[in-house]
Chains A and B, each alone.
Chain A
Amino acid sequence: MSTVSGPRSPNDEAQGLPPDKVFGQGAGFRTDSVDEWHRVHAVSPLVRGWLAVVALIFIFGRNSFDDVLASVRSGGRQSPAGAPAWLILLILGAAVVVFGIAFFLSWYYTRYRVTNDHVRVNSGVIFRQQRQARIDRVQAIDVVQPLLARIFALAELKFEVADAGKSAMKLSFLRLDEAQRLRAAILARASGMSVDPRQPSAAPQAPERPVLALTPGRVAGATLLSGISVAALVLCAAAIGVLIATGSPSILAVFIPLALAVAAAYWKAFTTDCNFRVAQSPDGVRLRYGMLDTRAQTIPPGRVQAVGITQSPWWRPAGWYRVHINVAGYGSDHRDSGARTVVLPAGTEAEVMTILGLIFPDPGTADPLGVFRAGLRGKGPAYGFIHSPPRARLLDPLAWRRNGYRFTDTALLCRHGVFFRRLQVVPHERTQSLSLFQGPLMRRLGLADFELHSTAGPVRPVVHHLDLATAQDLFTGQAARAATARRIGRPDRWLEESKHEQ
């Protein structure tokens, strides 16, 4: 039925896509016309407000339960202090009505619309808000399913633009299939993919290719071999020390809350990374993870600003790495404990290379494996890395041969750390600004720090303690490379360009 060719709109000279760009025929899926509005699912206020409802029931329930107990204990007489049952019921009923009306009004006044160029959300009862965002400015789209929403087969859709962490559009909740259709519709518009003019509202859903999945064993192992275990060991040692010093086991009760916190941290780390899967589609990289609450993230091509690969000392025997990214829409992301910016919670070197291949299809070097291996584990000048001069030994007695950089045709690689190994990769065209820094001690030694500024996120690329002349070369050279890369940079609409790589 729907062929994907032909001009999308009169002012848009869209070229017909080559045959291999014709996606699978998706089922009924459309964007909205000018006057079409939708509301989120009717159950969603309950799913969003269930905590308030539970708290209400708990508080009133406990009070009346106490009253009932008191009246039983006093031999059936009404306790004089407790409120009469009808009052409790009245308050409860009033609360239900008030909450119900508030929920209903907030649901009724929240409407959204996805047109060919914009997403719009109107919300608010007293203070009305109308928000409109350009679709081609999308940085990422998340489909989130908290546990309760999963029970109802609902999902929350988050549309991220480059405003450092706040969602431009957050629709909670939609039916899961509706959320997925909406995501596909937005991504199809954002990609600038040409659409059949006879059926302007039909667009196919981009097919996915599974790339990798983490086994539960890997996730469990990574959780056990983490900083949480270090904290747990320290806690155990402290507990034993206290026990020996005082000799009274009752003092160990102090450690119970801490032990609970450790257990909760283990649980959270495991359930978050559980079922971690990565897939590739023309819409971008798709990540899915979570055991109870699940999340599916889509990051369109060219939205990744920087990548950070880290390895802690306790992961070294297993050879695992963790991969973080900076995406302008995710920001520094403190709310979700950083899970959103992780594209690989614990992966082997081969898996890291696979992920890097998805994010940066062109490594810009003939031997990517060798170069990245040198960046991840290497020391010294092998594979073209330029590291700190020997006189930096005063400041970095162990890491001076490791602290270094190398640039390829497409990206800058910064590596550091002996115990906690880190490699940061920034594509030249994603460079925001650069700076050189020199403190008094570095000045005496003729060294300088090089910093590259990326958007807000967990990756802050920096090269420490370079030789001053080298740092100046890097500074001017990187500015020039970034300028060249910007000029030939990819447009926002990634499928509009005919030579787009698969």
Chain B
Amino acid sequence: MREPISPTGLDFRPVSPKLVTVRLLERGLGSLLTVAVASLPLVLSLAGPWRGFPGWLAWGILLLTVLITLWRLALIPRQVRAIGYAERDDDLLIRGGIFFQRVMVVPYGRMQYVDVSVGPVERAFGLSSIKLHTASASTNAVLAGLPAAEAARLREQLSARGEAKLAGL
């Protein structure tokens, strides 16, 4: 694996490994639905209504969907390990992604507000997501999979630092 694009010499903190389970559950449920839809041609052609439908195509669609789904599920652990954040004096860095890597820096003084959200699956594992909003709509700074206590600490920390460094627009 090549080195990440984030600036070197920074101590990025990882998010909770429990996020792997959360994502597997969430995406797994969605994948079940996708696979069910993809298996429709096969079921229909075997059961009767679509008797003319070529069998190899029906099997192919199902197989391809299952393969892609499995691959996406298999990627999750690496994706979660790629997520990291680093608090600096003036700003917060967030990185993520394996094939499509992105690293973002959000200055504390530019934050308009901070969202902490918890979904049902996340709650079961004691995790929360945090999202930073600036005046720019392009700032898409989401940090998922933080332990609830860490999320609360980060929120307080960000708010306090935002207050201290507050600049206008």
Contact = CB atoms under 8 A, between A and B. Distances in A.
Interface of A: 139, 162, 164, 303, 305, 328, 429-440, 443, 448, 451, 453-456, 460, 468, 471-472, 475-476, 479-480, 482-483, 486, 489, 491-492
* Residue in A456, A479, A482, A483 with the greatest tally of chain B CB atoms within 10 Å: A483
Contacts of B168: 489, 491-492
A456 B137 contact: yes
B134 A453 contact: yes
* Residue in B6, B99, B103 with the greatest tally of chain A CB atoms within 10 Å: B103
A486 B107 contact: yes
Query: Interface majority SS on B: helix, strand, loop or mixed?
Result: loop
A454 B8 CA distance: 25
A345 to B, nearest CB: 26
B82 interface: no
A38 to B, nearest CB: 29
Contacts, number: 99
A440 B100 contact: yes
Interface residues of B, number: 29
10 contacts: A328-B135, A429-B167, A432-B139, A433-B139, A435-B104, A437-B100, A471-B5, A472-B7, A479-B107, A486-B167
Contacts of B100: 437-440
B107 A438 contact: no
Contact of A432 (B5, B99, B110): B110
B136 A432 contact: yes
B150 interface: no
B122 interface: no
A460 B138 contact: yes
A443 B2 contact: yes
B87 to A, nearest CB: 13
A437 B99 CA distance: 10
Contacts of B167: 429, 486, 489
A475 to B, nearest CB: 6
A486 B5 contact: no
B169 to A, nearest CB: 5
A453 B140 CA distance: 10
B102 to A, nearest CB: 5
Given A162-B169, A436-B102, A453 B138 contact: yes
B117 to A, nearest CB: 20
